[in-house]
Chain A
Amino acid sequence: MYQLVCELDDILPNAGVAALVGDEQVALFRVQLEGKEHVFGISNYDPFSDANVISRGIIGTMGDELVVASPVYKQHFSLQTGQCFEDETVRLKTWFVSIDGNKVYVYDKKIEVA
């Protein structure tokens, strides 16, 4: 089920925050594309540095792909799929996110199962 995590205004445009969803850390990125707001949810855990820091990375594009760069060793991860560009064996977990007006919801499977 969807869980309310924050307001859209809590996230700066084209930047990220970390949210606690269940007992997992989700990095939420607010991206403005062609005037429309999107929020992407991707694991906050950076497997290369073993630290919860993905939300502090810079977002951008590589070719057509929306990506975030890890702030530690600068690997790039797709915001949509979590796939790492520098190492094809690494893929970060992603979450469904929905925006309703100014509210941001993250879809958390565990809660639904429970």
Chain B
Amino acid sequence: MSSQSETQISNESGAKRIVVVGNGPVAHHFIESVVQGNKLPDFHICVFGEEPRLAYDRVHLTAWFETRDAAPLMMASEEFYQTHGVEHFANEKVITIDRDNKTVKTESGLEKPYDFLVLATGSFPFVPPVPGHDRKNVFVYRTIEDLEAITKASESAKTGVVIGGGLLGLEAAKALHDLGMQTHVVEFAPRLMAVQVDDGGGSLLRNKIEALGVGVHTNKNTQQIVDGENAFHRMEFADDSHLETDVIVFSAGIRPRDELGKHSGLVMGDRGGIAINNLCQTSDESIYAIGECALWNNRIFGLISPGNQMAKVAADAICGEASLEFTGADMSTKLKLMGVDVASIGDAHGQSSGSLSYTFFNQAEEIYKKIVVSDDKKKLLGAVLIGDAEDYGNLLQLMLNAIDLPEHPDALILPQRDGSVSVLGVDSLPDSAIICSCNGVSKGAICSAVAEGCHTIGDVKSATKAATSCGGCTALTTQVMNAKLASLGMEVNTHLCEHFPYTRQELFHLVRVENIHTFKDLIEKHGHGLGCDICKPTAASIFASCWNEYVLKDEHHNLQDTNDYYLGNMQKDGTYSIVPRIAGGEITPDKLIVLGEVAKEFNLYTKITGGQRVDLFGARVEQLPFIWRKLIDAGFETGHAYGKSVRTVKSCVGSTWCRYGVDDSVGLAIEIENRYKGLRSPHKLKFAVSGCTRECAEAQSKDIGVIATEKGWNLYTCGNGGMKPRHADLFASDLDKETLIKYIDRLLMFYVRTADRLQRTSVWFGNLEGGLDYLRSVIIDDKLEIAEELETQMQSIVDNYQCEWRTTIEDPIKVKRFNHFVNSKRHDENILFVQERDQIRPATKAEREIKMVEMK
């Protein structure tokens, strides 16, 4: 329960004691703010949390289902608290405050004195007291324990109902749907998301959600819950209708957890909430309240970003200069709910007096947009966007910065079919405009990052943190970056090199559309000069991705980079390594023996690689064809370890042997490797397949990762090990194999078409405007209408596969090119080995000089 001894830190040290009640995201942000302000030694913090674990990211609670593991959600850690001397207690509820003696008391009887008390107790889900609300298999959706319980119940449930069609209700409904239940949403109001959207938007949203197979029931007042006939529960509504279901989740709003404030006599709001001033101080000046339990100006803020602002203000008030103030927060939101873009800004209902509204409703494409403007049509007051929320960032800025609207405000939401640019230029925004509200990044901060050398959206993201949380601001952040680049006179030169005034992506397009097959043609038509070591390998790679011809064909040979030139990885001494393909890491004893025999015969250094195969090092160039002849005769083929191409598909042992495995990961890995082997790409591609969530194949660090689930395969993408590791994103869940392969085909081809040279999928993704949602819309929803083309293109690569080593050894002229000298059979005497741990290694320069002397 307690991680530290109970010794009370006395006041002798002079440190002021801050007690924090609640260890949710906002409490944690408060503690971080104090730590960052460097105010600990002068203060001592003790935090009590009622939940069994330290603070975790409630905003992304639903992501728990991806791994069913709390670890990825954790915000606070034992280590962080210990490092900073923060005394912390989990599973320890505070039950009373003694304001006279300035102490708090916990359920288990602990007592702590405080100089400052910070209440960050959050809120609880409101469960209306309908008879039967306390039945078994009735849940709320707030903590990890709630989700664990829902998951457990889902195992024996067919149907699920969420009571409440608000933001959280729809998120919960998605979860029930994903757990495989036939799902319904029951809403008291006449429409979904009544707080954020109006009738028009609500009905469109409803259509979209129903199209996903989720039942929507509005105007339903639940009277009681009783035993069902065909399911566990029966819900009876005021209009005499009823609905049967196995699981019920209440999501009927939240209420502040203000009981400590109430019992200790702090000033409260009429409908709850602990009243605070601009410093987040309650009516007792040594007690502060922050987050969802706090009431400012008679308002509760049920979002994370105002809570974080309060945390900063309180930390500054207690430990700093009291220079910050909380002055309210904007409650605009943009989300993707069950695949539908929804955004609501400011006064979405047009409640301000005299306000006027404009509505655009495109029923065919299911897009609804509404703006609310002031009576003089000069200022934007609010907006609702459904189905297409791309304008969110722009509209939000117009409202927040009270920017004058164009003469005809409806232009803001009418489609601009003639390609004219958006009405709001980012230039009109003040430097102080907050572009990324999740992370509080201003336009000014983005501009200075650009001025300091961040010239891609990926760089700007990592330097400023903008666009790294909800991603809603990515488009706007990019616009600000581009505008700044332009103003610095830095029209970023995206030319591939001095010989081609095009990007790789543009060249790819030209090659494809004009059916260009040789470098000579390409440079004559679209470039100039002789080319160089940048454009030649790039062109070679594009030709290979498009036409998949033999890379050592005479007209391609001289374009190939170092390793492709001799179909092996050149080592530091000019020798080569040999890596035969061992698909999925599976190999027969006979083949293993062949590897050993060949290595012995040619005296090669042998090592198991990090990619589950065997690397044979130290072959001189003229030995390569002989070595490969033996390997190919024994049934091996090239492993493309030298190419910017598909490398390996790592596998775990999977369900065939492993007691936890839920599917045959080795089988799938081999299938995938054989499908994509030989695909050349802007950079190398690595895959992995794991047989269950234990993830022994480390699929989440790969360009393409696949993990078996009870219901199919989860597809992860754009992970990376290497220099800048990136955790892959879950792209789609529970796919059948056919769909999985389809998505991988499309993903890979889309990457091959659009990435820059030497750009791994992770970096490509980081620069992709629109992020994961955009990628999904292209790959899954086929927004660009290219899916079929991508698949066809991939199929042609698959069909044209050849083992280029086999082709090579069958052509005597090609084999001849492997001689070190054009005019002599001698080999390169500069290559010398010494023995180490019973194998060869390249001699160092010093060793070589000694040996050379000995030989002479």
Contacts and interface: CB of A to CB of B under 8 A. Distances in A.
B71 interface: no
Interface in A14-32: 14-15, 17-20, 25, 28, 31
B220 to A, nearest CB: 69
Interface in A66-93: 66-67, 69, 71-72, 74, 76
Contact of B824 (A12, A20, A49): A20
B530 A60 contact: yes
Contacts of A59: 530, 558
A85 B831 CA distance: 27
A31 B530 CA distance: 9
Contacts of B821: 17-20, 25
Q: Give the contact-size bracket for chain B.
A: 20 to 34
B191 to A, nearest CB: 63
Contact of A61 (B530, B557, B562, B820): B530
Nearest to A56: B565
A6 interface: yes
A1 B574 CA distance: 30
Interface stretch (B3-11, B375-383, B531-539): B531-539
A69 B533 contact: yes
A53 B822 contact: no
A44 to B, nearest CB: 9
Contacts of B828: 25, 52
A18 to B, nearest CB: 5
Given A14-B530, A59-B530, A66-B530, A51 B823 contact: no
The main secondary structure of chain B at its interface with chain A is loop
Most buried by B among A13, A31, A71: A71
A11 B574 contact: no
Contacts of A18: 820-822
A53 B828 CA distance: 10
A60 to B, nearest CB: 3
A10 B536 contact: no
A53 B562 CA distance: 10
Contacts of B558: 12-15, 58-59
Contact of A50 (B560, B822, B824, B845): B845
Contact of A71 (B530, B565, B823): B565
A6 B565 CA distance: 21
B531 A11 contact: no
A58 B532 contact: yes
Nearest to B848: A50
Contacts of B554: 12
A35 interface: no
Interface in B805-828: 817, 820-824, 826, 828
B566 interface: yes
Given A12-B554, A71-B562, A58 B822 contact: no
Contact of A17 (B530, B560, B822, B845): B822
A62 B562 contact: no
Contacts of B533: 57-58, 60, 69, 74, 76
B537 A49 contact: no
B566 A56 contact: yes
B819 to A, nearest CB: 9
Nearest to A4: B823
Nearest to B519: A14
Contacts of B822: 5-6, 10-11, 17-19, 28
B572 interface: yes
B572 A49 contact: yes
Contacts of B570: 53, 56, 71-72
A63 interface: yes
Contacts of A49: 572-574
Contacts of A57: 533, 562
Given A12-B558, A18-B820, A72-B572, A51 B830 contact: yes
A35 to B, nearest CB: 12
A61 B220 CA distance: 75
Contact of A6 (B499, B574, B823): B823
Interface string B424-445: 0000000000000000000000
A5 to B, nearest CB: 5
A66 B529 CA distance: 10
B802 to A, nearest CB: 20
Most buried by B among A6, A19, A50, A60: A60
Contacts of B831: 51
B574 A52 contact: yes
A23 B600 CA distance: 31
A72 B531 CA distance: 19
A61 to B, nearest CB: 5
A72 B830 CA distance: 16
B559 interface: yes
A103 to B, nearest CB: 12
Nearest to B825: A20
B788 interface: no
A56 B562 contact: yes
A15 B519 CA distance: 13
A15 B845 CA distance: 29
Contacts of A52: 574, 820, 828, 830
Contacts of B573: 49-51
B258 interface: no
B856 to A, nearest CB: 11
A13 B520 CA distance: 11
A75 B531 CA distance: 16
Contacts of A66: 530
B171 interface: no
A72 B566 CA distance: 13
Nearest to A23: B829
Contacts of A19: 821-824
A60 B531 contact: yes
A11 B828 CA distance: 19
15 contacts: A6-B823, A12-B554, A12-B557, A12-B558, A17-B817, A17-B821, A18-B822, A19-B822, A20-B824, A51-B573, A56-B566, A58-B559, A61-B529, A71-B561, A72-B570
Given A56-B566, A61-B531, A72-B572, 13 more contacts: A11-B822, A18-B820, A19-B822, A20-B826, A45-B830, A57-B533, A58-B560, A60-B532, A66-B530, A67-B532, A69-B533, A71-B565, A76-B533
Closest 8 CB pairs of A and B: A60-B532, A51-B574, A15-B558, A71-B562, A69-B533, A17-B822, A58-B533, A20-B824
